[in-house]
Amino acid sequence: MQSPSPAVQTFRKLHESGCFVIPNPWDVGSAKLLVQIGFPALATTSSGFAWTLGRADNSISLDQAFDHLRVMSASVDVPLNADFEGGFAEMPAGVAANVAVAAATGIAGLSIEDSTGNASSPLYDFELAVDRVAAARSAIDAAGTGVILTGRSEGFIAGRPDLAETIRRLTAYAEARADCLYAPGLQTMADIRAVVAAVHPKPVNVLVGSDFTTVAELRDAGVRRISVGGALARAAWTGFFNAAREIADHGSFTHFAAAVPGSRLNAAFTEGQSAP
């Protein structure tokens, strides 16, 4: 049995007080730049990574996910949380087996979702969803890695935006010993405060993919961790699409005027330099 790594210990301390932003890079370059900017921890994004492979979200293989986690965790010296989707298995035993491997890739945390990918029944039945989180917890405990486990309830982004059911699930995941709770898709401060209060004193992660709030507002609401999911990747792709469409549709290149110069990027990726 191994002991918690320095990254895991640092990540755990970040969850003990205050509020921190954990942005989501999609490749090594974006991860390195975010560290240079000063973020104390990072999280992978399943959608952002899938897009780099020309795939839709939730369509990468388990082996691709493991390889990505190994590469990403080795590329930075800050804690890395893994967007581990639904654990790449349905039943608890499969979730446990996959979590055990993921926890050994160098990550400091991972999340397990309760979405099924089935539009007619988008969330796992309550008891099975709780058992899946408990299985992930047992796998982490057995390995002794101390990796932080986040229990995610996906109702608000899976067509079941029911606050009471979301709180019911997150509370159960907390009782199953998830370290952090997360309900992506919450958009009102009232809902966010209700979730924070329901699982207190355990920390809550809030997803920000638009400009509906600020770090200060979330801090005041008691949120401990803020992630952005695929939003940074979408912002990067937006620049790409706009510039490419201009060339294709108008034969002009004006979008390049706002681009970061190559010299600044080269400097950022030279050891000892800072981000542009």
- pLDDT, one tens digit per residue, over 66-108 is 999 999 999 999 999 999 999 999 999 999 999 999 999 999 9
The predicted pLDDT at position 2 comes to: 78
pLDDT of residue 114 exceeding 70, the answer is yes
DSSP per residue, the chain: -PPPPHHHHHHHHHTTSS-EE----SSHHHHHHHHHHT-S-EE--HHHHHHHTT--TT-S-HHHHHHHHHHHHHH-SS-EEEE-TTTT-SSHHHHHHHHHHHTTTT-SEEEEE-B-S-TTS-B--HHHHHHHHHHHHHHHHHHT--PEEEEE--GGGTT---HHHHHHHHHHHHHTT-SEEE-TT--SHHHHHHHHHHHTTS-EEEE--SSS--HHHHHHTT--EEE-TTHHHHHHHHHHHHHHHHHHHHS--GGGGGSPPHHHHHHHTSTT----
Average pLDDT of the chain to the nearest whole number? 96
pLDDT of residue 274: 59
pLDDT tens digits along 30-63 = 999 999 999 999 999 999 999 999 999 999 999 9
Sorting pLDDT into bands at 50, 70 and 90, what band is 3?
Answer: confident
pLDDT score, position 275:
57
Confidence at 271, pLDDT banded by 50, 70, 90 = confident
Q: Give 159-185 pLDDT, tens digit per residue.
A: 999 999 999 999 999 999 999 999 999
Q: How confident is the model at residue 1 (pLDDT cuts 50, 70, 90)?
A: low
pLDDT value, residue 9: 98
Task: Indicate the CATH number for domain 6-230.
Answer: 3.20.20.60
**Domain ranges, ordered by start, for the chain:** 6-230
Residue 139 has pLDDT above 80, yes or no: yes
Instruction: Supply the pLDDT for residue 16.
Output: 98
273 pLDDT above the threshold of 70 = no
